[in-house]
Amino acid sequence: MKKKDIILLWTLSLVLWLAIMPLRGYHFQWGVIPHSIAFAILTWWALKRYEPRAGLWRPLIPILAPWLFELVARCFISDNLYSLPITVMPLWAVISTALFYRYRKIWLLLLCAVLWLFGVTEGFKQWFEWVGFGDKPTLTVNLADYEVADSTGSFKLSQIDSEYLVLDVWYSRCGVCLKEMPKIEALRNEYKDSKKVEVISLFAALIEGETINDGYRIMKDLGCSVPVYSIGKDSPILKECDIDSYPRILILDKDRKVIFNGSLEFAKRKLKSIGT
């Protein structure tokens, strides 16, 4: 390969990388899927053009350059492992395309495609849950004697009568929290006839001057009827459960021990697994 060919591939790769990157800000798949498809096409074109005289891997180096840079930046510079699959899945698309180009085996293509599909769906969810909540305490934390408040005053979590208690912990300036409220409403409606599960909204008054009334107002504006309770920014619940990001779902058993500490989607799975 000549120098101009390497520069051409590197330029095309960089342009595609930069052009599609803004889509990531809207939705994970909106960035990863077009990136993967675009780079798979670029890889196939580059190999058909240069592989006969340059070999398999030399054309891949300039194509992979932006992704390798991003991978190093995420792992060692920004330490942003949370969104690592955004980098890994297009990389996998390039490598899969190269492998299929070389060996032309349908089973290999299918295997690579299945792994990619798993990565952009369930694998990504599992990764988010592990990185975001994998080190959060469960089973060793008992919240029975910790207090929450409503319009009538403060009381202990042990006083709420249900076998399992689901707490949606949120705060007023969390856009993701507000966006998930209809899903919390749907979860409560799902268990409204059950005596085993109680779903409540736990408003964390983190902003100076906020009260339970702010939580009521926000929920009313959103059209949600989930019961609202509140805790202050100094609540031991936040410390004991290591709540440093929002929204956060806690599931407590009948003794008010924490049996789940994580995201809404995996909380639903937990509720199904315990037979509620």
Q: What is the pTM of this model?
A: 0.80
What pLDDT digit, counting tens, does each position of 169-199 carry? Answer: 999 999 999 999 999 999 999 998 888 999 9
What residue spans of 119-211 are helical by DSSP H?
A: 124-133, 175-190
What pLDDT digit, counting tens, does each position of 140-149 carry? Answer: 899 999 999 9
Instruction: Provide the total of helices (H) and of strands (E) in the chain, helices listed first.
Output: 10, 7
Between 1 and 113, residue with greater pLDDT? 113
Confidence of residue 139 (pLDDT cuts 50, 70, 90): confident
pLDDT reading at 25 higher than 90: no
Nearest Cα to 203, choosing from 170, 173, 227?
A: 170
Contact 242, 136 (CB under 8 A): yes
- Just give the CATH number of 147-273: 3.40.30.10
What pLDDT digit, counting tens, does each position of 123-133 carry? Answer: 999 998 998 88
In the chain, residues under CATH classification 3.40.30.10 are: 147-273
Q: How far apart are CA 218 and CA 261, in angstroms?
A: 24
Any bridge partners for residue 228, and if so which?
A: 201
